[in-house]
């Protein structure tokens, strides 16, 4: 996993104060990182349009133009001039070298957006909006310097933003790159070296980006084993029984030795899934909430009072009976609408889904601070997993998963690992990664995934 930060100005300052690295040195390395990326990916002489703003993000772009000049067909566009001290210094260097300037957006093979970056702290004016819209209309490979222009430091897009194929962000990863609404704009994310290795540049943080290596699949190494060695999951089926059945099938395919669906009504189940009317005596994990609907509250309360690892989903996020469970070691898997209901239920906030989506990190932190024993898995384009003071980002999310039943599969995966004695945080992280990576591995049309396909892909991991 990689470290992620709300801001990196303090990290830059450390370079100035403690390492005797100047702003100029950091800027040269920033520009060199983008230049290296272009040189690795594109042949010489292709056309490059660099659109540079008046501040230091623009200064990075001007320095980039100087580095690429002659090897590529470089054109530099400064719609607002050069205003910061570093922008003026870089402009003088570019002019002395003879870098060509243009007075408008021209057709190019590559466009590099260096307008505002993470320095954007206000709404865009009409001219800026017009420039960004024009850049988005161009058929070119698009690179954003630090953060796509129009995305603010929180990752919010209040008007419009530059659509990048890749974002080369400076020094370290930033939270703004992983807010859900920024996902379509940032493209692939690469980190620029600013003159020292990231292990030196970075400090401690409480936010981390997950990678594939953080997925610890439940492979079996013990030879002397039987089905009971791998847990017994009980899935509580409600009035929408299909949700519980999907979760049960997913859990069985993810390694649980025994899976039972708990229901007072007979359900048509695969032969390898059992049915019971009450919790099993040897139950090692519980999945509850998916498709629950109307259910006897006293019975739910009794189930939640059991000292058994539990994953909670869907309908229970609206019920007060859940509150006592939040003080214990439990995994919650809400989507945004359910999380908004949960925040209100817990007396943390009364907000809209729209407000939540613009401030996902803030509210995950607030919830986890109030309930430090609980693991929260907030679904989204970038899933956030929080426990106590730590947040983990799963950025492998894909629109392929935007289908009914996908969330039930995820709940089943988490519950499966809980049944197999994973701790709650590891279960949430591994299940979330397996869920998303399996979806990305799906080879058929991206609109066609059904839960059974997803379970099958998970079995191939």
Mean pLDDT for the chain? 95
Mean pLDDT throughout 116-141? 89
Banded model confidence at residue 92, pLDDT cuts 50, 70, 90 = very high
Is 214 annotated as belonging to a binding site? no
d(CA 76, CA 105): 9
In order of 152, 170, 413, the CA distances from 4 in angstroms are 16, 12, 26
Q: Is the pTM of this model over 0.85?
A: yes
- Where do you find CATH 3.40.1190.20 in the chain? 213-459
Is 453 annotated as belonging to a binding site? no
- Where do you find CATH 3.40.50.10260 in the chain? 2-205
d(CA 356, CA 324): 24
Is 58 annotated as belonging to a binding site? yes
Phi, psi of 381 (to 5 degrees): -60, -40
Is 32 annotated as belonging to a binding site? no
Banded model confidence at residue 119, pLDDT cuts 50, 70, 90 = low
Banded model confidence at residue 122, pLDDT cuts 50, 70, 90 = confident
Is 87 annotated as belonging to a binding site? no
Q: Where are the alpha helices (DSSP H) in 118-215?
A: 126-137, 183-186, 198-201
Residue 366 pLDDT > 80: yes
Is 117 annotated as belonging to a binding site? yes
Report which of 162, 157, 158 is spatially closest to residue 53, judged by C-alpha positions: 162
In this prediction, what percent of the chain has a pLDDT beyond 90?
A: 92
Is 408 annotated as belonging to a binding site? yes
Q: Identify the weakest region by mean pLDDT among 168-172, 296-300, 432-436.
A: 296-300
> Contact at 8 Å (CB) between 176 and 144?
no
Is 13 annotated as belonging to a binding site? no
Task: Output the pLDDT for position 311.
Answer: 98
Q: Which CATH architecture has domain 2-205?
A: 3-Layer(aba) Sandwich (3.40)
213-459 is a CATH 3.40.50.720 domain: no
Is 60 annotated as belonging to a binding site? yes
d(CA 120, CA 460): 44
Is 165 annotated as belonging to a binding site? no
pLDDT digits (tens, 9 = 90+) for 196-242: 999 999 999 999 999 999 999 999 988 899 999 999 999 999 888 99
Written as six digits, the tokens of 378 are 């907030």
Is 56 annotated as belonging to a binding site? yes
């Amino acid at each position: 996993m990689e470290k992620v930060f709300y801001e990196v100005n303090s990290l830059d300052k450390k370079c100035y104060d403690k390492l005797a690295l100047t702003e100029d040195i950091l800027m040269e390395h920033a520009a060199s990182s983008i230049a290296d990326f272009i040189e690795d990916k594109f042949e010489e002489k292709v056309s490059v349009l660099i659109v540079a703003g008046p501040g230091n993000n623009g200064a990075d772009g001007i320095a980039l133009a100087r580095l690429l000049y002659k090897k590529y067909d470089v054109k530099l566009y400064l719609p607002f001039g050069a205003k910061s001290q570093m922008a003026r210094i870089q402009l003088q260097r570019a002019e002395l070298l003879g870098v060509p300037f243009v007075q408008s957006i021209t057709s190019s093979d590559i466009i590099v957006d260096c307008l505002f970056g993470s320095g954007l702290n206000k709404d865009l004016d009409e001219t800026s909006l017009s420039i960004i819209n024009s850049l988005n209309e161009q058929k070119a490979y698009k690179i954003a310097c630090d953060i796509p222009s129009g995305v603010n430091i929180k990752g919010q897009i209040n008007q419009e933003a530059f659509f990048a194929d890749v974002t080369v962000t400076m020094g370290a990863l930033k939270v703004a790159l992983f807010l859900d609404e920024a996902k379509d704009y940032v493209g692939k994310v690469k980190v620029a070296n600013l003159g020292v290795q990231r292990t030196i540049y970075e400090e401690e943080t409480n936010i981390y980006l997950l990678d594939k290596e953080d997925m610890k699949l439940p492979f079996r190494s013990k030879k002397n084993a039987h089905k009971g060695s791998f847990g017994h999951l009980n899935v509580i089926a409600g009035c929408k029984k299909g949700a519980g059945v999907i979760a049960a099938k997913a859990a069985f395919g993810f390694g649980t030795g025994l899976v039972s669906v708990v229901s007072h009504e007979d359900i048509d189940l695969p032969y390898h899934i059992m049915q019971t009317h009450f919790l099993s005596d040897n139950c090692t994990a519980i999945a509850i909430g998916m498709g629950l609907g109307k259910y006897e509250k006293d019975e739910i309360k009794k189930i939640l009072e059991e000292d058994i690892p539990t994953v909670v989903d869907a309908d229970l996020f609206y019920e007060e009976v859940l509150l006592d469970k939040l003080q214990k070691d439990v995994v919650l898997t809400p989507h945004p609408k359910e999380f908004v209901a949960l925040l209100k239920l817990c007396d943390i906030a009364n907000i809209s889904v729209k407000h939540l989506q613009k401030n996902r990190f803030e509210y995950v932190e607030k919830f986890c601070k109030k309930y430090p024993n609980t693991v929260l898995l907030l679904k989204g384009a970038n899933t956030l997993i929080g426990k106590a003071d730590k947040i983990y980002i799963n950025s492998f999310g894909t629109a392929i998963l935007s289908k009914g039943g996908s969330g039930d599969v995820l709940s089943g995966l988490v519950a499966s690992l809980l049944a197999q004695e994973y701790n709650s945080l590891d279960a949430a992280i591994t299940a979330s990664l397996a869920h998303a990576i399996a979806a990305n591995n799906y080879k058929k049309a991206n609109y066609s995934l059904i839960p059974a396909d997803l379970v099958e892909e998970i079995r191939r991991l």
